[in-house]
Every structure is written in C-alpha cells, then in structure tokens.
Amino acid sequence: MLSDLKRIIDQICRDRGFDKKLLIEAIEEAVESAAKKKLGSRRDIEVRFNEEFGEVEVFQFRTVVAEVEDEQTEIALDEARILDPEVQLEDELGEKMENIEDLGRIAAQSAKQVIIHKMKDAEREVIYEMFKDRKGEVVSGIVQRFERGNMIVNLGRTDAILPRDQQIPKRSFKQGDRIRAYLDDVRQNARDSQLILSRTCNDFLAKLFTMEVPEIAEGIVEIMGVSREPGFRAKIAVSSLETDVDPVGACVGMKGSRVQNVVQELQGERIDIVPWSPDPAKYVYNALAPAHVSMVMADEEAKTLLVVVPNDQLSLAIGRQGQNVRLASRLLGWRIDVKSEQRYANLEDPGYQGLLSIDGIEEPLADQLLGRGIFSIEKLAEAAVDDLIVIRSLDEEQAQQLIETAARMVADGLGTVVPEADTEEAGTEEVGTEEDNTEAADIDENGEKAVAQVEVDEMESQPAEDEQK
C-alpha cells in the first residue's frame, strides 16, 4: 500500500544507507510513470510524497475549455467549476486523483522496475562514497564465488571483483576462504562490480611490507622501488633515513618473521630485499645479489649498465630465463647488460670483433664459434661445413654462407690476423652458450623465503669502482 510508505522508506534508508531524498524521488518518478501508463501518456501528471501523512499524492493538470476535444489534456468549464467556482477559460486546473493504488498490473510492474533501478543507482553511489577514499588500501574479504575465472570477493557491505589477470598464477583459493587484496580501482558508474582488486601489482607487495614493518609505517625506512613476477620472485629496494637503522634487517625481522609473513600472504613468492643506493653501480651490485659483480660500467645518458661477473656467476646473475636480471632492470629503471669476464675479454679481442663484423653473426653465435676453435675470420674461412652444423642454430645452407662470406672478406683483405700465442689460448677456452646462461641457479622451488644478502665491504674491495664511468 502506498499509504504505508513512510515507515518503509525510513527502514530502507536506515538499513542500506540510502539518501532519503533520492529514494522519495525514485518513488515519485515510478508512480508518475505508472499513472501515465494507466491513464494516458499525454496527461500532465505531477506526483508528490506527503511526508506528514506518509502517502503519495497524484495530481493531474488540464486546460479549461468550452468544448472538450481531448479529455486527457482538457476539462469542460462546467465540470471545472465544480472543482473551483472561480476558474476561467484557458486556466490550468489541478485535480487530485483518487484510488491511485489501483493502477493496474502492468503499470504497477513498471513502477516496481523504476524503483529497483533507482535503488541500484542509489546503492552504487553509497558504495562509491564509502570506498573512494580507500583506493590504494589492502582490503580483506571472503571468497564468494567464481565467474569465468574472475573471483568475487565479499567485503561485507558489497562484493568486489578480483580479475583473473590480477590473481597470482598457480595459486588457488576456494569458496569461503579469507583473502587480502589491493583495492586497485573504485568505479562510480560501473554496471557490474564497482570495486576492482589486485594481488599482482607492485603496490600490493609494498603495502604488505608497510603493514608488517613498523619502521616503514613510521617513515624511518622508505620503500624506493618494487619489481615483481607474481607468484615466483620479487625484489624490493629499501632505504633508511636514520644511519643506525638497518633497512634490510628491519624488513626481515627477528628470524625472518616479517618477510616470512609477506611470503606466506603471497603464497610462497620469493622476495629479495635490496639496499637502495643513489649510485647506479652500487645499486645494481646490490640488486643482482646473490651473484657477485666484478665490474660495472654506467652510461647515465642512455641509462644502461654493463655488468661484468665471474664466469661461474653468470647463470646466477641472469637467473632462470633471465628472471634475476630482468627484475633488477625493472627495479633500477635502467637497461642492464650482463656479461661474463670471458665474454667481456672477447669484446676486446680483434679476432672476436672480426667475427661479429660478419653479417648474421651475433654474440651468442660468436661465442659458440670460439668454443669450436674458430676465433677469427681466417679460421672461419678455412672451416668445413661439418665443423659448423654441429652448432644447433646453424643448418648446412647457413654454414656454407658464413664460410663463403668469411672467404670473400679474407680475399678483400678484411680479415684479422690474431697472434699465434693468442690463438692457442682462445682456441682452448670453452664459452657457454646464451641458452646455458639462462639455467636456474638461484630459484627456490619450494617457495622458501629468500633475502638478498649484500656484503658492502666486499663491494668496496672489488676493483669495480675504479673501472666505473
């Protein structure tokens, strides 16, 4: 019944936090729509909610005429004077309509749809106002259900969506599990979910450390950068504003308790904690740990770093499928080129440079040619096809083409003669291929915590700084 609306409106506004004015406007609009469907769309109808009596009043306005041609918009003078004795022709006469509860099934259904639509709009506005200032926070909820790979999380007042591409891969939650995630976006007019969550963004890791480490929350320790490959490995760079506070130790906690809490929340993601430094050379030395670095050459203009590591440290510095150096590069925002000491020495060798001058030979192939004892253009020109096709990247046609190209260069006097002593030494050095260099040497398969241990004293004892540009 419309006459009992006041109590219903008060209860809905109290339970759902709606603005009472918006709900009343929704009801007025719904009743007006229903009345026009029942009585005629051309009628000039006005609906008002009477708060004193708690009921909806419907008025129709018609023009006073001598002879009625359209009863929806006109009223005869005689009939009008029954309602208002002083009315004149061409006046607009308002009349309160009775029995508005009996609007018909279709009209009532239309009114219901309008009210539901308006209530949804009002609820979206309430949710937006409630969460707009919480964007960028970590929120906690219960896994409600799954829809096409997306996870629906109940936050209490409303549901949020954790898209499939924002979920940590190969990590599963089931219905009813409690989950924490980063509130990545709050949408005002979204048709589906207004709240978008993420567990893969860098900010989620930073927020977790802020929650676990009081020194970060207090501003004593500052997070300078984060790079992640969600579910596998992450690096976080930290710096201390006070000299007597160790930023790495603060993040690790007693017996690793703090970092372990973060690792557990991320379901086993390995985390390297890196001391930040304003010096790019020292920063990359820290970021590539646990691999040791022999020398760093920086090009600040191009934002590139050439990092030279001992031969037995190359795979450790690069990491599985380049993961370690890739994360370090994202952390610094610089391009990092990692080379072994042997490869760096090769770059200074004229025979090696001669091989690189041949079209179609890049460093990985040149390294493999060295491994086969082919250390100059002259040696390549003298090689047999069978000597080259053992290299997996070459077929018979490519091998023949390289030999012919080298022979033409020698004939044109473009070859490089390497001293005999260098020849013997270069021919006996076995250099690993690029594919070998990407083998894993530092990945914890069990997802145990891993903290980058940086030995600054060792860094200072290296001859790297003397070579740094």
pLDDT score at 170: 75
pLDDT score at 419: 46
Q: What is the dihedral of CA 2, 8, 10, 12, to 10 degrees?
A: -130
pLDDT score at 105: 60
pLDDT score at 352: 77
Global pTM reads: 0.65
DSSP per-residue string spanning 390-432? TSTT--HHHHHHHHHHHHHHHHTT---PPPHHHHHHHHH----
Q: What is the CA radius of gyration of the chain?
A: 38
The set of long-range contacts for 153-161, using a CB threshold of 8 Å and a minimum separation of 24, is 153/179, 153/181, 153/197, 155/195, 157/127, 157/130, 158/127, 158/194, 158/195, 159/193, 159/195, 160/193, 160/194, 160/195, 160/196, 160/197, 161/192, 161/193, 161/195, 161/196, 161/197
pLDDT score at 128: 87
pLDDT score at 17: 66
pLDDT score at 235: 95
pLDDT score at 129: 86
Residue matched to tokens 């007019």 = 189
pLDDT score at 437: 37
Task: Please list the ranges in the chain whose pLDDT falls under 70.
Answer: 1-6, 12, 15-19, 98-112, 114, 190, 392, 414-469
pLDDT score at 221: 95
Closest CA to 182 of 170, 167, 172: 167
The pLDDT tens digits for 357-369 are: 888 787 787 777 8
All domains of the chain, ordered by start, with CATH? 2-128 (3.30.1480.10), 135-200 (2.40.50.140), 203-342+448-454+458-467 (3.30.300.20), 350-417 (1.10.150.20)
Residue matched to tokens 């802020």 = 210
pLDDT score at 111: 62
pLDDT score at 96: 77
Cα 134 to Cα 233: distance, rounded to the nearest angstrom: 28
The pLDDT tens digits for 262-308 are: 999 998 899 999 999 999 999 999 999 889 999 999 998 999 999 99
